């Protein structure tokens, strides 16, 4: 029953959202058209605005409306600290923790030679430029604990240390509130390896 | 960190999608802006087109681009059969079962007196008009097997029988507590074939 070309087009388009399959796309399409046309209008407008106005910060590579983002241009941030993350959402999570006051660099990915993603693709030359400015005293590596994230951290750590700058890795272990019984063995191994004097 | 007014607006807007909370909305926003700007453009356009062109069929109340939808205007459909469903997605599921050749009426809801949804809100007067035309010999009640869906079926069944027309309910092949939208087509085909007098 392909009587609704426009409706089918909407279902197809909604499948471009991450984690949305045919059933969810249909549910979303019907929901918006039946019950929230105002919401549909807002989504369409917000997408158009974002596409038009959001680009990458020239310094940290994060998504930004301005050439240099609010974090990079904030006078209060500690310019001797640089934290390297894989994605804008990682940056948001770290900001929400409220304890980090330095600057960031967003790789927009991770090293993955098999997929053709090398140092140039994740902006390593731009990190080298930032380090060359001389203000950064420590780089905090906050890539994810995946094979690629770890490889990226090792690569960066070598490159940073070669410039006589301190490279640190955020601690990985049992999450606060987590129970040993329900913690996976990789996390536990990491927690044990990273133990400190109590 | 509200440096990105446009980005925040996009995250807020995406939360209007059913089943999408703050984390998913953020993930969708970042994904579209980082990796699928073309997809974002298509979604915005598809929503605008749908909002502009999709209305309700004057006969069956389903979403339609035309005044009378493709099913209602198809010469091959059996005009002696009317199937009443709660939503457009239920209609899609029944169509996919491939065994039903009659017409439909989409309630766009179900009786729910506590929420102020009575017969007028779900188009019962329009069903009465369709029945008054005289062509319909049987009405298949395919509301969901929920309390409200069952109540709606009972109400409709009384109203239909009072007019000397046969009222049937799809068979209990649909799992109890399940919803039509998420039922596989074979089960739905069985449910249709095994319908009984209500």
* CB proximity B29 to A under 8 Å: yes
Query: Is pLDDT above 60 for A3?
Result: no
Output the CA–CA distances (angstroms, integers) from residue B165 to A179, B95, B149, B191, in the order listed: 63, 23, 20, 21
- What pLDDT is attached to residue B1? 42
- What pLDDT is attached to residue A4? 64
**Nearest residue, CB atoms, B4 vs list A12, A32, A64:** A64
* CB proximity A23 to B under 8 Å: yes
Instruction: Kindly compute the dihedral angle of the four CA atoms of residues A24, B110, B21, B50, in this order, to the nearest 10 degrees.
Output: 60
- What pLDDT is attached to residue A25? 96
- Positive/negative CA dihedral, A46, B9, A9, B41: positive
**Gap between the Cα atoms of B188 and B170, Å rounded:** 9
* CB proximity A19 to B under 8 Å: yes
Instruction: Kindly compute the dihedral angle of the four CA atoms of residues A24, A27, A30, A35, in this order, to the nearest 10 degrees.
Output: -120
Instruction: Test B88 with A53 for CB contact under 8 angstroms.
Output: no
Mean pLDDT of chain A: 91
* CB proximity B127 to A under 8 Å: no
**Gap between the Cα atoms of A67 and A59, Å rounded:** 8
Compare all CA atoms of chain B with the CA of A74 and give the residue at the minimum distance: B3
- pLDDT tens-digit map of A76-135: 999 999 999 999 988 988 888 888 899 999 999 999 989 999 999 999 999 999 999 999
**Nearest residue, CB atoms, B40 vs list A37, A51, A69:** A51
Q: For chain A, which residues make up each domain, given as ranges?
A: 5-53, 69-197
Complex prediction ipTM: 0.77
Cβ-based neighbours of B44, under 8 Å, separated by 6 or more: A43, A44, A45, A47, A48, A51
Distance of residue A164 Cα from the nearest chain B Cα, in angstroms:
32
Compare all CA atoms of chain B with the CA of A5 and give the residue at the minimum distance: B65
Instruction: Test A43 with B181 for CB contact under 8 angstroms.
Output: no
pTM of the model: 0.77
Read off the DSSP letter of residue B117: B
- What pLDDT is attached to residue A190? 78
* Topology of the domain comprising B5-53: Helicase, Ruva Protein; domain 3 (1.10.8)
- What pLDDT is attached to residue B76? 94
* CB proximity B30 to A under 8 Å: yes
**Nearest residue, CB atoms, A3 vs list B5, B16, B70:** B70
- What pLDDT is attached to residue A96? 84
Place of tokens 């790789």: A107
Long-range contacts of A24-28 (CB under 8 A, 24+ apart): A24/B19, A26/B89, A26/B92, A26/B181, A27/B18, A27/B19, A27/B89, A27/B181, A28/B17, A28/B18, A28/B19
SS (H, E, C) chain A: CCCCHHHHHHHHHHCCCCCCCHHHHHHHHHHHHHHCHHHHHHHHHHHHHHHHHCEECCCCCCEECCCCCHHHHCCCCEEEEEEEECCHHHHHHHHHHCCCCEEEEECCCCCEHHHCECCCCCCHHHHHHHHHCCCCCEEEECCCCCHHHHHHHHHHHHHHHCCCCEEEECCCCCCCCCCHHHCCHHHHHHHHHCCCCC
Cβ-based neighbours of B52, under 8 Å, separated by 6 or more: none
Compare all CA atoms of chain B with the CA of A56 and give the residue at the minimum distance: B34
Query: Is pLDDT above 50 for A157?
Result: yes
- What pLDDT is attached to residue B38? 96
Instruction: Test B13 with A39 for CB contact under 8 angstroms.
Output: yes
Query: Is pLDDT above 50 for A179?
Result: yes
Instruction: Test B31 with A17 for CB contact under 8 angstroms.
Output: yes
Tens digit of pLDDT per residue, chain B (198 long)?
445 689 999 999 999 999 999 999 999 999 999 999 999 999 999 999 999 999 999 999 999 999 999 999 999 999 999 999 999 999 998 898 888 999 999 999 999 989 999 999 999 999 999 999 999 999 999 998 788 998 999 999 999 999 999 999 887 666 666 677 777 777 777 677 777 666
Instruction: Test A43 with B17 for CB contact under 8 angstroms.
Output: yes
Inter-chain contacts counted by CB atoms under 8 A, chains A and B? 186
Instruction: Test B28 with A18 for CB contact under 8 angstroms.
Output: yes
- What pLDDT is attached to residue A1? 42
CATH no., domain A69-197: 3.40.1360.10
């Amino acid at each position: 029953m392909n009587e609704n070309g426009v409706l089918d087009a909407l279902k197809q388009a909604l499948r471009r959202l991450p984690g949305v399959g045919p059933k969810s796309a249909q549910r979303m399409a019907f929901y918006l058209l039946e019950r929230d046309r105002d919401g549909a209008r807002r989504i369409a407008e917000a997408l158009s605005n974002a596409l038009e106005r959001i680009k990458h910060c020239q310094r940290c590579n994060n998504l930004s409306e301005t050439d240099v983002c609010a974090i990079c241009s904030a006078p209060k941030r500690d310019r001797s600290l640089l934290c390297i993350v894989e994605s804008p959402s990682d940056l948001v999570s770290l900001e929400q923790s409220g304890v980090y006051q330095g600057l960031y660099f967003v790789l927009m990915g991770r090293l993955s030679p098999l997929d053709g993603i090398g140092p140039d693709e994740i902006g390593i030359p731009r990190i080298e430029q930032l380090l060359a400015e001389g203000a950064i005293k420590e780089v905090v590596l906050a890539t994810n604990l995946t094979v690629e994230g770890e490889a990226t951290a090792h690569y960066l750590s070598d490159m940073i240390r070669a410039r006589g700058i301190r490279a640190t890795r955020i601690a990985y272990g049992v999450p606060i509130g987590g129970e040993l019984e329900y913690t996976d063995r990789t996390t536990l191994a990491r927690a044990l390896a990273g133990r400190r004097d109590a």
